[in-house]
Structure 1
Amino acid sequence: MARTKDPAVRTALIERAGQMLRTREPITLRSLVAGTGVSTMAVYTYFGGMEGVWQALRQEGFTRLAAGLARVTTSADPVRDLAALGAAYVRNALDNPDLYRVMFDATVDLEDAAAADESLLGLVRAVDRARAAGRFDAGVDPADLATQTWIVGHGLASLVATGPLPREALAHGASLLTALFVKAGDDPATCRRSVARGWKTLS
């Protein structure tokens, strides 16, 4: 009878790989299982080989991002919510910088691409709510504005979490999003207040 897979072993190997990324250790079949109490066969059992490990790491990055975005509460102010989603995106990168690097390695397939797409769809829905509430112009394309919002968050996250800018640079996120949303039709003063409320969730 085939042995039942233990999810804890898979999780432990993913965590081990993430730790090795943080400490810049080379990740090989043998180094991954070293000290875990499992054999190299476990990598094949749970991931099908090292390529599967990288796929799982990339997926884990998006899984944690999705969890962070899901913690953003929906309020009566959709522009505040959109800014809070951007802040949650940056927070995930700061909390998981090594997984964040792997998330955008397009040379590695995702285990579940639809789950990764859902991260952007959450922003699309927030833009659509803001447009329906009259905060954005009726002609605004929710997918386009959501993508631009993602670009702002990704740029800041990359430069602060994995790049040369200090954490203080995150304060620029509020002004960048305000400019973006005002261009989409929001009232400048109202927009500044909404974005400030959403972006402060990053602190």
Structure 2
Amino acid sequence: MLCIVSGMVRPRDPAVRALLLERAAHMLRIREPITLRALVAGTGVSTMAVYTYFGSMDGLWSALRQEGFTRLETSFSTVEITDDPVRDLTALVVAYLRNALDQPDLYRVMFDASVDLEDLPAADATLEHLVETVRRGEDGGRFTAGTVPLDLAIQSWAIAHGLVSLVANGPLPENTLEHCVPMLTALFVGAGDEPDRCRASVARGWTRPTVALRASSTT
């Protein structure tokens, strides 16, 4: 990618783009309004950099939304793959919850459908982690043959999304997340897993994440 500065063409610096995205994510965390001038304040780059790297403030929001899915992908990628797909599916849900709690404002932007994503297939690919794990469960006899992996993956995602939204950006305490355990267990048993074995696997994969301490802006 190229940009023009003082009549010269030079490569765009991905570090500047990353800096502005991190700055915007930080401003979301501390509830600071994101304006053009506030965004670049203290970064050492000019307001023109926003147009150079994002085209507009709308482009910045699109990139910020994409960044949420990029970080979710990173969280999913850290989950250990074991020979117990039900445990692994639970661990992916935990990673989802932790990602949302660590950056609740960025998490909210991820699902702002009024803003286009930069790379929709890349965002959709995050769900594939769950789909592949369900597929392993079906292949291993944990889920009934004929289970639709995408459907069970979406249902698992929906449980996580519903509960964490009430905690990360809502009124309920973090122990609300413990409801994931019986809800996931019921979902997986309904998909064909043996109840006692399912409960043991969910227990192995479950660790309730905690709400991160959030910095507050100074007045």
Both proteins in one fold, TM over 0.5 = yes
For residues 38 and 50 of structure 2, what CA distance do their matches in structure 1 show? Answer: 11
Unaligned runs of 5+ in 2: 1-7, 211-219
- SS of the aligned residue for 1:3 comes to strand
Which letter does structure 2 place at the counterpart of 1:106?
A
The answer to whether residue 92 in structure 2 is matched with residue 91 in structure 1 is no
The answer to whether residue 117 in structure 2 is matched with residue 132 in structure 1 is no
C-alpha distance after superposition, 1:104-138 (max 9, x if no partner): 00011111111111111111111111011111111
- Partner of residue 4 from structure 1, selected from 4, 11, 16: 11
C-alpha distance after superposition, 1:31-56 (max 9, x if no partner): 21122221111001111110111011
TM-score scaled by structure 1? 0.96
Which letter does structure 2 place at the counterpart of 1:192?
R
Q: Which stretches of structure 1, 4 residues or longer, exceed 3 Å deviation after superposition?
A: none
For residues 196 and 162 of structure 1, what CA distance do their matches in structure 2 show? Answer: 26
For residues 79 and 30 of structure 2, what CA distance do their matches in structure 1 show? Answer: 31
Amino-acid identity (%): 65
In structure 2, the CA distance between the partners of 1:191 and 1:100, relative to structure 1 (3 Å rule), is same
How far apart are residue 170 of structure 1 and its match? 1.5
Q: Which residue of 1 aligns with 2:35?
A: 28
How far apart are residue 66 of structure 1 and its match? 0.2
Q: CA RMSD in A?
A: 1.2
**Count of residue correspondences:** 203
- Partner of residue 107 from structure 2, selected from 100, 113, 124: 100
Which letter does structure 2 place at the counterpart of 1:34?
A
TM-score scaled by structure 2? 0.89
Q: How does 1:8-87 map to 2 (within 5 A)?
A: 8-87=15-94
- SS of the aligned residue for 1:2 comes to strand
Which structure is higher in helix share?
1
